[in-house]
Amino acid sequence: MNGLLYLCVVVIWGTTWFAIALQQGEAPILISIFWRFAIAGGLLLIISRWRLGKMRLSWRDHGFCLLQGLCAFSLNFYCFYLAASHITTGIESVIFSMAILFNAINQAIFYRITPVKRFWPAAAMGILGIMILFSDQWGAKHFSASLGLGVALSLVGTYGFSLGNMLSIRHQRKGLAILTTNSLAMCYGAAVAGGIAYFFGDSFVLPMKPVYLSALFYLALFGSVIGFGAYYLLVGRIGAGQAAYTTVLFPLVALAISTHFEGYQWHLHAVIGLSVILLGNLIMFFPINIFRKSRLRFPIVLPTGRGKRSDIP
């Protein structure tokens, strides 16, 4: 089951980055985000009510769902949509792969789960890989404010996504259903995006272009309902740290699409940089003898919300 969920997330999220690019310039960013998560959240609410019946949440639980919506389904995507106008979506997905490192840091901060020893070399390799990836543009002659802004926005959006993971762990430890909390968080995220858009006078009328509408419904149904559902189910089954390992592979899917449709050009520094980033993630994914003297232990968060520790060979 975990393998199927993992594959589902890799394939779907590897393609959603290009779908985001297809929406660029067709409608205000906040409007695209509003409709994406309004559709997805509405569908999930219907499914949740059908499958689980009415679930009563406290005001405190609703408050945390609102926070999750802001972090994972609203403001972070505003950063990703903005970044897509400065860097290719393939590069965005590579930066997003650092969610695995952000999750390790945030689990230590919020849940006192100490990162395993191999986290530190993995983190160093992730940062080094990004520097190599853009090595030809760091110099004064090539560096542009647009590039720097695109990288910064992607990092901020990724950290927001990681905070959303921490809130999902909180929900599941409280025994709340993923389906319910996800649907509420998406609706709250859509409401925030829509409220800000209304304040700035944006029109909620969607452009009637087939490409835009196809991208919107793909992002809402596959990218949000199925993709996030599978991902947060993984978070509940194996923990946020291990669930984020899906980011090891989907940048390859995104870069392949970016190469074909966006004209991303592969240079030696790009190949080396991507390899270093992925190697750093793989160090986090696979126990390697040089980074441990004994069997490593990972925190597993069960759907019931109760913690359990399990040896991973």
Per-residue tens of pLDDT for the chain, all 313 residues: 777 887 888 889 889 888 988 898 889 999 999 999 999 999 999 988 888 777 789 999 999 999 999 999 999 999 999 998 888 777 788 788 788 789 888 988 999 888 777 777 877 887 788 778 767 655 544 557 888 899 899 999 999 999 999 998 899 899 898 889 999 999 999 999 999 999 999 999 999 999 999 999 999 999 999 988 888 788 777 776 667 667 667 777 877 887 877 677 778 887 888 788 778 767 766 654 433 443 434 333 333 444 443 332 3
Distance CA 303, CA 174 (A): 10
Bridge partner residues of 296 (DSSP)? 312
| Angle, helices 59-72/75-83, rounded to nearest 10 degrees | 0
Q: Distance of CA 277 to CAs 4, 129, 194, 281, Å? A: 24, 5, 36, 6
What pTM does this model have?
Answer: 0.78
Q: For 27, which DSSP code?
A: S
Distance CA 209, CA 217 (A): 12
